[in-house]
């Protein structure tokens, strides 16, 4: 995974999607697509977390309206509901104008989407992963396609499933990585806590706390039964 970057993108919807999105958001505040399970290039199954707005009626009625009024949704299976939120599977088909675009993005530009995806009425926020030069090419292609978007953040990409390191928090992992690269664990030690913490821009006591907690988490994960 060396060299991969995660680009967080705010995307305004293309004109061809706006009519049915406006219909979908009559009773919805936002949708978080937790994961997509693709059965074919055309078909999809989405695990979605729906937040209903203040005007929502009966949840069963709202879900039925989505199936009846949105042409790309074929079925919805409710998993759980709590007040104004519903977790569900949504089964449907991609707009055929987008099917070829999705396939082209993966094959031509070697980029992929990292879930979850946030969908609001006027815009969506997604994470696009790829080598910077490939993402740059994809960005130019998206502009030619007519997409309006903004890259709001760029960071190194770490897969959510990265083995033993997955037990570390987002703060602990970079501190531990930096400590290793700068020889904190070498014998004799190449750099001490104060030197490394200064490079990281944190207090040396904070650095030592992160190291201690990281070691504890790793050892617990390694030796737990």
* pLDDT, position 114: 86
pLDDT for position 99: 64
Average pLDDT, the chain: 83
What confidence score (pLDDT) does residue 39 get? 60
Question: Helices (DSSP H) in the chain: which residue ranges?
Answer: 18-24, 59-69, 96-109, 132-145, 172-181, 193-200, 204-223
Q: Quick one: CATH architecture of 163-223?
A: Orthogonal Bundle (1.10)
- Backbone φ and ψ of 207, nearest 5°: -60, -50
Q: What pLDDT does residue 168 have?
A: 82
1 — pLDDT class (breaks 50, 70, 90): very low
Q: Assess contact for 164 and 218: CB atoms under 8 A.
A: yes
Q: What percent of the chain has pLDDT over 90?
A: 30
Question: What's the pTM?
Answer: 0.66
124-180 per-position pLDDT tens digit: 999 988 888 888 888 888 777 777 888 998 887 866 555 567 778 888 988 998 998
Long-range contacts of 54-63 (CB under 8 A, 24+ apart): 54/84, 55/26, 55/27, 56/27, 56/28, 56/84, 57/27, 59/86, 62/27, 62/28, 63/88
Kindly report, as residue ranges, where domains of CATH 1.10.10 are found in the chain.
163-223
Query: Could you give the CA distance from residue 3 to residue 40 in angstroms, rounded to a whole number?
Result: 30
| Percent of the chain residues past pLDDT 70, beyond the cut | 85
């Amino acid at each position: 995974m060396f060299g991969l970057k995660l680009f967080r993108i705010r995307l305004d919807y293309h004109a061809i999607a706006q009519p049915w999105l406006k219909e979908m958001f009559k009773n919805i505040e936002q949708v978080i697509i937790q994961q997509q399970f693709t059965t074919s290039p055309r078909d999809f199954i989405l695990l979605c977390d729906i937040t209903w707005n203040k005007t929502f009626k009966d949840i069963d009625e709202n879900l039925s309206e989505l199936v009846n009024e949105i042409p790309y949704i074929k079925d919805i299976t409710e998993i759980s509901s709590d007040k104004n939120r519903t977790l569900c599977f949504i089964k449907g088909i991609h707009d055929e104008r987008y099917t070829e675009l999705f396939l082209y993005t993966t094959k031509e530009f070697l980029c992929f989407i990292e879930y979850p995806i946030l969908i609001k009425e006027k815009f969506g926020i997604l994470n696009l992963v790829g080598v910077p030069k490939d993402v740059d090419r994809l960005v130019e292609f998206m502009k030619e396609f007519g997409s309006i978007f903004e890259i709001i953040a760029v960071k190194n990409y770490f897969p959510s499933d990265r083995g033993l390191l997955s037990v570390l928090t987002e703060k602990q992992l970079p501190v531990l990585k930096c400590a290793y690269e700068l020889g904190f664990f070498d014998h004799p030690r190449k750099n001490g806590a104060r030197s490394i913490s200064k490079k990281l821009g944190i207090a040396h006591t904070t650095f030592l706390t992160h190291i201690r907690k990281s070691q504890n988490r790793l050892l617990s994960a390694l030796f737990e039964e």
